[in-house]
Amino acid sequence: MTNLKWTALAIAGLVASQVQAQTPAPLPIPFGDSLAQAATPLAVGPEGLSGPGATVLSEAVAASRYVLIGESHLSREIPAFTTQICRLMAPSGLTAMAVEIGPEAARVVNAHMRAPDREAQIGAFMRSHPDAMAFFNGADEGRMAADCAAAAGSDFSLWGLDQEFLGASGHLLEQMLAADPGPLARAEIESLMTLERASTRAALESGSPGDLFLFTVTDEALDKARLAVAQDGGARVQALFEGLSETHAIYHASQAQEGDPNGRRARLMKRTLAAHLQAHPGARVLMKFGAWHGYKSLNPLNQRDLGAFVAERADGEGEKSLHVIVLGARGSEASYNGVGREAAVQAFDVMTSEDADWRKDVTLARRADMAPQDWILVDLRKLRTRAVETYTPEWRQLVLGYDIALLAPTLTATRFLGAPEKTAP
């Protein structure tokens, strides 16, 4: 009887599979139609977010413990948008914002972001320590940090996960001396400080980061200092020296195009985030990094970066992470312009580029009833269907790597604090 029962089930399954095989699969919806269905307007203003896209975004943020924004750097508009995300998260708890700067740079920003004259204080720090900080030497990033701190409360702080920036060595060495090392370590740190001052003067004159200490100091000088720091530097000095050494190693590998500097950066950021989360159980965190760091799958460098780590950690905790990519369609963008220099500013328009770019498709999908100043929100989760295999490689990677894509109609370059308005040619 048992054999007859299983035989009947097998025959029924075979018949069902044959019927299913003979039933034609529904034709896939053309990608343009799917994109139009997933796209909705979002109004972004000082008073907050509004429009249909605001509902989508608010619900997604509310459901998430970790919210990661992947951006193009150094704009005015994306920090202002991020402030609105802070305000969405704060009522339910916002522990910190993890950002793409080093731990010591974050310590500087945390010390000044609640001050009424924060711009003057950060500007003075940058003049004393040229290129010691990335991104948060921009006026708009500082305003964002202050506004997020005001919304989230007194316990909120920035977590710097990255290596320190190109010119950070002077500040790191000063902090080592301030930590009161023993005589052996102090002598070596002061020796490095002499080299650092000379290299900074040369870099300011030339504008070349290659003249900075992190690129000119020898391995022998660092190794000698490392031995002394290990002997009588103390825990704080040893931690600072480790940060200096890791930063030096990453930049040298990148300059020589050897090893895996991008992977090394990603692993550093993962370790640092894990340490913060261990120290703050249950933390709810907003993260803001360059777009390639935020993919929950392999990124365009075919690496598992911070976004993949966050997505997996959230899954393991039974929590949700939300990955949002934010770029602009046109406007002006800032870029690094040399040691101690104001940012270089260039105009851009994605529609004039010859490269494949998802922003072109979204721009063309803008509905006639959208206001010119509206952002376009694309709910990529709606595109994550069986049809994903038919998408272009770029769209497939985007849909699998992010949950929501936002396209601002215009971005405007930020200004740097502490840099001269104009520099000699």
Q: What is the pLDDT of residues 96-124, one digit of tens each?
A: 999 999 999 999 999 999 999 999 999 99
**Backbone CA torsion sign across 179, 180, 184, 186:** positive
Q: Cα(222)–Cα(280) distance, rounded to whole angstroms?
A: 33
pTM of the model: 0.91
286 sits in which H/E element = strand 285-290
Mean pLDDT of 360-379: 94
pLDDT at 309 over 90: yes
The answer to whether the CB of 330 falls within 8 A of the CB of 77 is no
Helix axes 118-128, 139-152, angle to 10 degrees: 130
Confidence band of 423 (pLDDT split at 50, 70, 90): very low
In this prediction, residue 190 carries a pLDDT of: 98
Which tokens sit at 301? 């460098």
Helix axes 169-178, 183-206, angle to 10 degrees: 160
In this prediction, residue 11 carries a pLDDT of: 46
Domains identified in the chain, total number: 1
Region of poorest pLDDT, from 159-163, 314-318, 363-367, 396-400: 363-367
Identify whether 372 is part of a domain. Answer: yes
What contacts 332, CB < 8 A, 6 or more positions away? 345, 346, 347, 348, 411, 412, 413
- pLDDT tens-place string over residues 224-253: 999 999 999 999 999 999 999 999 999 999
Identify whether 11 is part of a domain. Answer: no
Looking up tokens 């721009």 gives 363
Region of poorest pLDDT, from 12-26, 38-52, 306-320, 339-353: 12-26
Helical residues (DSSP H) of 23-76, grouped into ranges: 31-38, 52-62
Q: Cα(3)–Cα(355) distance, rounded to whole angstroms?
A: 62
Q: How far is CA 363 from CA 43, 268, 317, 330, 350, in A?
A: 16, 36, 37, 10, 9
Q: How far is CA 130 from CA 54, 110, 192, 208, in A?
A: 39, 19, 17, 12
- pLDDT tens-place string over residues 60-96: 999 999 999 999 999 999 999 999 999 999 999 999 9
Can you give the residue range of the structural domain that contains 72? 31-88+284-425
The answer to whether the CB of 41 falls within 8 A of the CB of 370 is yes
Chain mean pLDDT for the chain = 92
Q: Which residues is 43 bridged to in the sheet?
A: 50
- pLDDT tens-place string over residues 3-18: 545 444 444 454 444 5
Instruction: Look at 217 and 12; give whichever has higher pLDDT.
Output: 217
Mean pLDDT of 144-164: 98
pLDDT at 43 over 80: yes
From the number of C-beta atoms within 10 Å of its C-beta (0-12, 13-18, 19+), residue 228 rates as buried
65 sits in which H/E element = none
Identify whether 295 is part of a domain. Answer: yes
Identify whether 204 is part of a domain. Answer: no
pLDDT over 90, % of the chain: 87
In this prediction, residue 419 carries a pLDDT of: 76
CATH of the domain at 328: 3.40.1660.10
Identify whether 232 is part of a domain. Answer: no
Angle, CA 395 vertex, CA 318 and CA 35 arms, to 5°: 90
Nearest CA-CA partner of 216 in 232, 183, 194: 194
Identify whether 56 is part of a domain. Answer: yes
Mean pLDDT of 204-223: 96
pLDDT over 70, % of the chain: 92
In this prediction, residue 142 carries a pLDDT of: 96
Q: Cα(382)–Cα(398) distance, rounded to whole angstroms?
A: 12
- pLDDT tens-place string over residues 246-280: 999 999 999 988 889 999 999 999 999 999 999 99
Identify whether 255 is part of a domain. Answer: no
- pLDDT tens-place string over residues 167-177: 999 999 999 99
Identify whether 332 is part of a domain. Answer: yes
3-state SS assignment for residue 407: strand
pLDDT at 40 over 80: yes
In this prediction, residue 28 carries a pLDDT of: 58
Looking up tokens 């711009």 gives 119
